[in-house]
Structure 1
Amino acid sequence: MRLQPVLAGIVTALVGFSSAFAVVLTGLRAAGADEREAASGLLVLCLASGLVALVLGLRHRIPISIAWSTPGAALLISSGTPPGGFPAAVGAFLVCGVLVVVAGLVPAVGRLIALIPVPIASAMLAGVLVELCVAPVRALAEVPLLAAPVIAVWALVGRFARTWAVPAALVVATVAIALTGPGLGDVALAPALVWTTPTFDVATVVGLGFPLFLVTMASQNVPGAAVLAQYGYRAPMRPILTSTGVATLACAPFAGHAVNLAAISAALAAGPDAHPDPRRRFVASVTAGIGLAVLGLGAGYATALLVLSPPVLIEAVAGLALLGALAGALSSAVSEPDRREAAATTFVVTAAGVGFLGIGAAFWGLLAGVGMSLLHRRRTRSEVVSSPR
């Protein structure tokens, strides 16, 4: 019984890391990071997430799981390298961190974000995720001998133990790469923190930094708090937001994009499987934080896996990891009949991946959806006023 929350924490760390590190590395590379910078980003995100989870868990005695922003990494993939290169992306990461801290310190900011209709925010997330989620199909066409076993194992393991489906698929992909790849060669396996001096470009801040903040808040922090509430815990959002925002600021110059409240893996540490006594479950989140920090030391190996494999194969694993998030986002996007057209507009514009004025598609998708929502709202009001009584 004493070891139960410790074991639950280890499982949480393993599942959280193996299920999403490919998304993080792919996102950082898409944003312009080289191999060393991507490994640095993964390492610092693991260390910072582990430290914040340790401090918050011990301070509040509730299972507060901390992770990187997986949807945020998917946003990096869909946005691509900004005109200013990776230093401009790092500047956007810093802006995201500042906005998260402000949201924690100024409640009015959180309320302002809450004014964005949920279907619109969900449609933006779905538009960001869809390109990556079709990668398994592309991989099946481009590298069928490698992709078919990965997809088959994911489907079969998911039938009986959904939590372990993506880690199992990752193991199969790793074996396939080891058997068919060129070998490690000159790939550096020891991760090191690599400093990137940020630059601030208005278009990148608007097109990447602000959407990264929105995606992190709407798809990580809010659902993470909901998971805690489901198990009877009231999340202390002010310290969570301020600490994760500061952690994001600290990570950004070392290529880390965003630290936040865990959503996908949070239930593993907060649920009854972690411990029958809710007062003891914080041990699971603290252990998970320590485990994630230790796993971060393998960032060099994880980056080597990405470098040595066909790009579409690792994207396929990342896409399998995000299928559940895509399904949830699509369901939420069409949940309100009056906003379905606006949500569809947001999804189409975001998924198109076309930027204007140097600003990425996610921002324009959000803007288009909000505009459509306001337009239909005004039309509905005018119809009510003009209707005969």
Structure 2
Amino acid sequence: MSILSIKATCMRGGTSKCWVFERSELENRELPMEDILLRAFGSPDTRQLDGVGGGTSTTSKAVILNPYDGDDCDVNYLFAQVGIKEPTVDWGSNCGNCSAVVALYAIEKGWVTPVDGTTTVRVYNENTGQIIIQQIPTPDSKPVFDAEMVGSVYAGALVNIGFLDPAGKTTGKLFPTEQYLTELSTNGNTYATTLVDAGAPCVYVDAKSLGLDGKSRDEWTAVIDTRLSELDDIRRQASVLMGLSKSKELAAKAIPKLGVIGKGSNGADLRVQMLSMGERHPAMPVTGSVALTLSTQYDNSVPSNLLGKTTKTGISLDTPSGVLQTFATELDGLPVVGVARTARTICQAVINVPTSPRPTELGK
């Protein structure tokens, strides 16, 4: 069996673990980029035993970076959600948590020179055409790793992540159906939803549609687990309505994202349970929080109805990993919506990628 050696860096960004590759490591090799990633992560295999993947949607992620060619940004960033059960790589969206590693990586690799105080790194996300403004405290021109964050065991470098003018980057509109509230039905049940595109295309389902109004987090978990197939059908219907796919069957697994939201708990404005690749998400996608924050600014959306008002400021979200605070501000007259995350480098490695066919490829 021949081997392809690929340099990579393992980093934690927010509540995701990401393998970071420089684009030059993946291009012009004897295998296509998707095949390299699938073999590197050990897919398709629910355990990802023969690769570096972690067997969950939050630990099967690749970040591909190179210095930006131009003056508008500093770093070009391409995100890949690597399939676990299926030999697929989804390029259709961005991961906000993984984006938290980009500025730190650029500083550590010398692509961006840190200043004494706060270093700003402008990141271009190739998947969505989104510019992300990242700021890292760098006293004495060095990142410090003392910031703690809910959902992570160890401290990391604080990264403020702001999505610049994020509305409609994938579909062309903040509300792709031009409706703030859309009712969707499946299996005899009707769900009140808001379909919104900011950060990533998202579907937000009113918890009342599942009978979860006023219920505990444990009750949410029990009911949502019994409705995963229904909720995925709602997500696939939304994919068609948002113009992301021509049919439910052709809907991508990664987008649109779907979340169940209800009235606030634990002192937060709203409670949220996101789904990821057909399963409950253990935390909160940053891109999902951007979409949710922007949708609260519009009357009669599911989020604003649950809040009982519209708001143009950030909101607090009760997530499975703790309370997350978002912010909403402006830069040069354009809206900026985001969150604070932490990031750190875990290890640098050489991944030995087998070039021989996977069993799923034999006979093709």
Q: Structure 2 length as normaliser, TM-score?
A: 0.27
Q: Which has the higher contact order (CA 8 A, sep 6+)?
A: 1
Give the strand-richer structure, 1 or 2. 2
Q: Which structure has the highest helix share of the two?
A: 1
